[in-house]
Amino acid sequence: AVAPRCGWVLPGLEQRLAVPATLSPAAARPYAAAAKPAKKDAKRSRQEKVKEKPRPRRRLLMTKPVDDVYLTWLYRRPSYGLEQALGMLKRFQELDFTHPKQFVYINVFLDMALQKKKKVDPFSSSVALPHRFTDEVNKVLVFTENAQEAEVAREHGAAVVGGVELIKWILEDEIQADFYVAVPAIIPKLIPLRNKLKRKYPSTRRNSLGSDIPKMLKFFRECHEYTVEDENVIKTRIARLDMPTEHIIANLKTIIHDICTFKPSNFDPIVQRLVIRSSTSEGLLLNLDGILPQVQKVEEKEEENAADEDQQKPVQEPVST
């Protein structure tokens, strides 16, 4: 504004004053427009460098260590036969001077996948073990409105016996039991307890609904219960360490065979890994050969036998007329 009054103009001032007002911000600041491609080029060069770097190859795990002291993460976890693992657990107890009657536990890792995106829902089950390892008795409640059935239930060790009058106390948590069994006549009146008891609600599938009260009480008072945790793991005790090895093996196989019934045999086995340990020892990975039920092999043998029978049948010649 001073220059026109004085009659003189600074060099280059006309060019500055002649800049149109409608210029874009990028044209008014050419350095900003040039900075953006530079940043993009820098990002591209970094990404290219990352891609050019070869990924570090994971070292293959070795099978068996040579020395007594070694890094465990460099070697595959060894697996043991069932009898060998039990012998090691008993030996660990002797060397560590721990209690000989400690519990033996198993951790079962499951493959719950079915076809496509379907999978086996987490479940719980009860099984009668061939060799009991504890004197604990489960608390069983019996639903019945028949006086004679109630007397039979009390004689065979039922903790609580009653009819619909128990519903209120169960809903208010005044009465609790480990298992609930019922006779068929009263089951329509127990519908209010379905959401409360959930998996423990009496049903024929769980063998907790029936007319043979002594049989149901004997099973549920002495049965062993296990549950799937964290969607695919079962952690349960199976025996005591001082029991004979064959008794521990029988209990373990009984539980494993019951677990395998929750997935159809035409899919991959539900048991992926099996680890056994005692209360004070490390876990030992078991070799599954001879532990899982051989369902497929039995079916194959039956098919082979059927084929042999067909071959042995005499071929009947057509009768000419």
- Per CATH, the homologous superfamily of domain 80-111+232-293 is Ribosomal protein L1/L10, rRNA-binding domain (3.30.190.20)
- The pLDDT of residue 166 is 96
Report residue 69's pLDDT band, with 50, 70 and 90 as the boundaries.
confident
Fold that domain 134-222 belongs to in CATH: Rossmann fold (3.40.50)
Mean pLDDT, all residues of the chain: 83
Section 102-125 average pLDDT: 94
- Is residue 231 predicted with pLDDT exceeding 70? yes
| pLDDT per residue as tens digits for the range 176-198 | 999 999 999 999 999 999 999 99
Q: Is the dihedral of CA 308, 310, 316, 318 positive or negative?
A: negative
| pLDDT per residue as tens digits for the range 288-316 | 999 999 765 444 445 555 555 555 544 44
- Is residue 255 predicted with pLDDT exceeding 70? yes
Strands (E), 186-258: 224-229, 233-240
> Same CATH topology for 80-111+232-293 and 134-222?
no
Burial 99-114, CB ≥16 within 10 A → b, else e: eeebbbbbbbebbbee
CA distances from 263 to 122, 249, 267 (A): 11, 22, 7
- Is residue 14 predicted with pLDDT exceeding 60? no
| Sequence spans of domains, the chain | 80-111+232-293, 134-222
- Is residue 104 predicted with pLDDT exceeding 70? yes
Question: Residue 271: how many CB atoms within 10 A of its CB?
Answer: 19
- The pLDDT of residue 77 is 86
